[in-house]
Amino acid sequence: PWLGVVWCLHALKVGWRVCWAKAQEEDEQRHMAFLSHDISMLRLFETFLENTPQLTLLLYIILQTNKAELSQGLGMGTAFLCVSWSLLDYHQSLRSFLQDKHELSLGSSIIYFLWNLLLICPRILVLALFALFWPYGVAVHFPLLWLAMFLWVSLQGTNFMESPGPEQLYRAMVAVILYFSWFNVAQGRTLHRSIIYHGFILVDSTLLALAWLWGSSEEEEHSYLLPVVSAALPCYLLGLGLKVTYYKWLHPNVQVKQEGRQDEVDATGGSDEVEFRSFLEPDLLEGPGRNQG
């Protein structure tokens, strides 16, 4: 939290300078965009390291007590929207940060937001249901799946930080995000990686839901959840359908008809981003110390 506060204060200082700058205004604006992108990434990490686990815990408590107040329901619904919004906000920040990248249109933003929401909701639901069936099972499930995601990210050869130690920490945080949601970390077409990831998560979520169904077969107090669980799979499939729609027709690269198009990495870019980062690196010496990211 303190790192985020310091970074936000530094960004505010740079923003103030941009408002009153009379020389090198373009450099200052790029520096501000650079800091804004990093703040967006910090918010994304906070969302999946803190807010999303808390949302899962809140849903588990509501299911466990079989009681929910209106304020809890509204808060939980807002939290789901905020998680999906954080992904959209980060993606928009990423595209505005990279050079020569077209920003999302309104239609693209809406579909991007919706497919993330439709994929995240069933995932959190089955995690809460699995905790309802076996409270200590999540303590086993999360480390095993996190390790699998960490190894998968490592095999893709990320190169986001400047030294091996911080790079491993970055991969560890990305593995947490992948436990809940898709996050692209490698260059090139994402089709095959996306199929592997979503297929794996779909199988894992199905097994978690089946474990709950098997454990609650004789309980009647949670019988109202059966229609909800039954709707989780169509919800997830609809989210996948909207994701395909986005990448096939609404992605900015498709709209500008670029040959050999590929999705931007959700963490670092190609040569354009490297030029942008290296161009701004000397200016960062007057602010908090950092690596790329």
Question: Among the ranges 14-23, 58-67, 90-99, which has the highest mean pLDDT value?
Answer: 58-67
Query: How would residue 264 be classed by pLDDT, with cut points 50, 70 and 90?
Result: low
Domain boundaries of the chain, sorted by first residue: 2-16+28-280
pLDDT of residue 216: 75
3-state DSSP of 94-126: HHHHCCCCCCCCHHHHHHHHHHHHHHHHHHHHH
Q: Model confidence over 132-161: pLDDT tens digits?
A: 989 899 999 999 999 999 999 999 988 888
pLDDT of residue 126: 96
Judge contact between 175 and 168, C-beta under 8 A.
no
Determine the average pLDDT of the residues in 154-179: 90
pLDDT of residue 226: 85
Query: How would residue 44 be classed by pLDDT, with cut points 50, 70 and 90?
Result: very high
Q: Dihedral angle at the C-alpha atoms of 117, 58, 179, 208, nearest 10 degrees?
A: -100
Helix-then-strand count for the chain, H and E: 11, 0
Task: Please give the C-alpha separations between residue 99 and each of 60, 94, 213, 252, in angstroms, as whole numbers.
Answer: 43, 10, 50, 14
pLDDT of residue 117: 97
Phi-psi region at 157: left, alpha or beta (left = phi > 0; alpha = psi -120 to 50): left
Query: How would residue 106 be classed by pLDDT, with cut points 50, 70 and 90?
Result: very high
284 or 248, higher pLDDT? 248
